[in-house]
Amino acid sequence: MRSKNRDMTVKKNLTRKRVVRRAPDKRKRRSPRVKVRRKKKPVTGDVRRVDAAVKRLERAYRMAAVRAEDLAALAHSLGEVAVEKHSNSIIRDLCEKQFLRDLIALCDALAECAPGTLNARLESLRLLPDALIQWLEQRFGVVPSGRAGEELDLPASKLMNYACEFDPPSDQMALVRVQVIAPGWKRGNRILIPPRVRLSQQQTANAGGLNG
């Protein structure tokens, strides 16, 4: 009996299916990457207000810069106007008080005296009138107009720019020869003091011959 039971046990063991256990895979399986989308933070009312304030500040800065440039240009123009007004006031005083006329007269009087013929004090002032005339030209743009003794052929229409010691002809196209008695002064194209002129001797002789 014992041998029979032993044989039955052996048969059962042979008929059993062998179970093969696989060794565990040591490699770790990579889990698939999942893209996580970050949710955008909702724009709050505070952010909107700050953004609007920044934009308003930028606009205000640009506007202030433009206004500053306009103000600088205005100040510059006002400064130029003030300087020009002050210069005109000085020139008007020089003309009204005959300083310009006397300056030319002094210059001519010194020119008639040969160097060394005056005393030392006056000789030291010989260059003063010319220096003053040069300063007036550089500072105010005022220059003498005409030279004493100079003769000019002018149409009668131009005699309005001169102080004439004769009656101008009625014919505006007539040509008149005049002699400068005293120079005038001008600033640019504006006449400050007109030169004083008279008919030249040649013009007077021609007029006398025609009348005779």
The answer to whether residue 195 scores a pLDDT higher than 90 is: yes
Q: Give the pLDDT score at 84.
A: 86
Residue of higher predicted confidence among 59 and 27: 59
Q: Give the pLDDT score at 212.
A: 46
The answer to whether residue 95 scores a pLDDT higher than 60 is: yes
Torsion angle of C-alpha atoms 141, 147, 152, 154, degrees rounded to 10: 40
Boundaries of every domain in the chain: 99-211
Q: Give the pLDDT score at 163.
A: 93
pTM recorded for the entire structure? 0.58
The answer to whether residue 110 scores a pLDDT higher than 60 is: yes
d(CA 83, CA 91): 12
Q: Which residues pair with 44 in a beta bridge?
A: none
d(CA 202, CA 212): 15
Q: Give the pLDDT score at 192.
A: 93
Give the mean pLDDT of 118-146. 89
The answer to whether residue 210 scores a pLDDT higher than 50 is: no
What is the overall mean pLDDT for the chain?
Answer: 78
d(CA 25, CA 17): 24
Q: Give the pLDDT score at 11.
A: 54
d(CA 67, CA 30): 67
